[in-house]
Amino acid sequence: MADEEISIVGVGCRFPGADNLREYWRVLKNGENHVKEVPRDRWNHDAFYDSDIDAPGKTFVRTAGFLESIEEWDHRFHGINEVEAELVDPQQRIVLDCVHMALEDGGLTKKDIDGTNTGVYIGSMTDDYINFVLDDNSVSSTYSVTGTHNSVISARVSYAYNLLGPAMTLDTACSSSLVTVDVASQALITGRCSMCICGGVNIIMDPQLFIALSKARMLSPSGQCKTFTKDADGYARGEGCGIVILKKLTDAVKDGNKIWGTIKCGTNQDGHMVTPITAPSEVQQIKLINDLYERHNVEKQKIQVIEAHGMLYLSQLFNVFSQDASMFKIVIFGQACCC
């Protein structure tokens, strides 16, 4: 039972420079860089920027990866009225749009999943939008709570599609979206859910986290990630949403679903093996990697791509590959940080 294959049967996304999966593939294929200066419609960044790393109340970073036109949204398409739509967090909006894209990609209609025990697991660690609503009491209404709280990001999907499985918004910092895949996989394996919608979302609307991350020396002053190089000096923030629809491989084959690939996953925790809490444990990383390689009989020489993220206290390793394992293998090594 534990070796049950989990398959991806639908994908939807929206990232800087790409409003859908086809455009995102173009971005990857062309190696496009969509990191840019903070747009004026987010906030006046000049008021919060200072090149002096130690300047109080300031950030030394001017750039991040931003989506275009986050205010544009067809709320009626999702059955949300005009008044409520005004107070719906852009993170909820984009998740709904990306879930629709993922269902469409998988050939699944609203009628197909209506009333099913489909689970929804969405990773999210920021809540920038709530500050706009709470800072202006004049805009508060019946919809203030449901429009701004992260718990509703997943519940909104369940409500829109009448899904009766668990709805959870998970926050394990930078690994949140990867952890949703692990939790969803367990729900499928144990039979709690027949299908799961999972992924992650992040929208940047407030400068305060930039300031906090700058003081923690986590952000790159250049605004660029330089992974595995001697010039690595932090990471670049970004926003977007990625959604995958998961089913047990046996069910996907039986139901005639399109199958993007299959997933093996696992998680770990560093405990207090290193200091400070944001520092990664090399021992735990190696243990997790070797454990998953051995448990799932992964042939290391066939791995073609590795995606990694540092600063962990919770780690994951994903082995994603197509039905013909000799064709393509990817390892995604995601680790959470306290940012």
Q: What is the DSSP letter of 280?
A: -
Question: Looking at this protein, which amino acid is placed at residue 133?
Answer: V
Both tokens assigned to 156:
């909104």
| 321 contacts 297 by C-beta, under 8 angstroms | no
Rounded-to-integer distance, Cα 23 and Cα 47, Å: 34
Residue carrying structure tokens 């990857």: 28
Rounded-to-integer distance, Cα 7 and Cα 321, Å: 10
Q: Which residues of the chain are under the pLDDT cut of 50? A: 1, 310-339
Rounded-to-integer distance, Cα 274 and Cα 257, Å: 44
* pLDDT of res. 187: 97
What's 6-262's CATH class? alpha beta
| 212 contacts 39 by C-beta, under 8 angstroms | no
* pLDDT of res. 316: 34
Both tokens assigned to 12:
């939807």
| 285 contacts 314 by C-beta, under 8 angstroms | no
Across all residues in the chain, what is the average pLDDT?
Answer: 86
* pLDDT of res. 308: 67
* pLDDT of res. 138: 66
Both tokens assigned to 315:
């780690």
Sign of CA dihedral 183, 189, 192, 197: positive
Strands (E), 62-106: 63-65
Report domain extents, the chain. Answer: 6-262, 263-339
Residue carrying structure tokens 């993922």: 102
| 317 contacts 331 by C-beta, under 8 angstroms | yes
Residue carrying structure tokens 């144990």: 190
pTM for the full model?
0.88
